[in-house]
Amino acid sequence: MQHIYLSYPRSEYELAHRLVDDLQAAGYAVFIDAVSEPGSLAWPAETRRAIRASGAMVMILGVRWRRIGIRHEGVLARRGRKPVFVLRRAPGPLPRYLRDALVFDCSEPYESVRDRLLAALPPASQLAAETLPIRRQQRFRRQAARSRWIAWAGWAALLIALGAAVVLVFSWLTG
């Protein structure tokens, strides 16, 4: 069974952990990044792996939500076609990468927002792994093969140029 990835700013720590407890009580597995700091060396790889393995993303946007990781996590969820649910503390426009997200207004009591979120989330039993479509996998393989070919062609051209330079130097010395 997949997990729900929970993204939150540090200012919303209490709300995030209360939500984790409620989601787990409802039968969901929840990934919450409580250790790594955005900007650390391990953070991008760890979040990328967790978002790819998730079945959905819940994103808490506080009053000051423009942090380093929000864009990174939102873009990865959009590329992975993950359903995104936004719990929002302040009004205002959402960025483009969250335009398809289902938004909940957190100015209402917590219990009503939690209940609406639980009703909107896919059932915990139905969170299934989604693989990339075959065409997309093939495109990535072709791009990798093309990159390898270009690298080999570059090395071959370098060796030919080096060989020509050696021949010219040798002919100049003996000539």
Altogether, the residues listed in the chain come to a count of 175
Q: Can you name the CATH fold of 3-126?
A: Rossmann fold (3.40.50)
The predicted model scores a pTM of 0.67
Task: Report pLDDT digits (tens) over 114-147.
Answer: 999 999 998 887 764 444 444 444 555 666 677 7
Q: Are 5 and 57 in contact (CB under 8 A)?
A: yes
Segment among 82-91, 105-114, 139-148 with least mean pLDDT: 139-148
Q: Which of 102-116, 140-154, 158-172 has the lowest mean pLDDT?
A: 140-154
Give pLDDT, residue 58: 92
Q: What is the mean pLDDT of residues 149-159?
A: 89
Any idea which residue has 């079945």 for tokens?
55
Of 13, 31, 8, give the one whose Cα is nearest residue 127: 31
Say if residue 161's pLDDT is above 90. yes
pLDDT greater than 60 at residue 51: yes
| pLDDT over 70, % of the chain | 79
In sequence order, what DSSP letters do the residues of the chain get, joined into one string?
--EEEEE--GGGHHHHHHHHHHHHHTT-EEEE--SPPTTSSSHHHHHHHHHHHEEEEEEEE-TT---HHHHHHHHHHHHTT--EEEEESS-SPPPGGGTTSEEEETTS-HHHHHHHHHHHSPPGGG----PPPHHHHHHHHHHHHHHHHHHHHHHHHHHHHHHHHHHHHHHHHH-
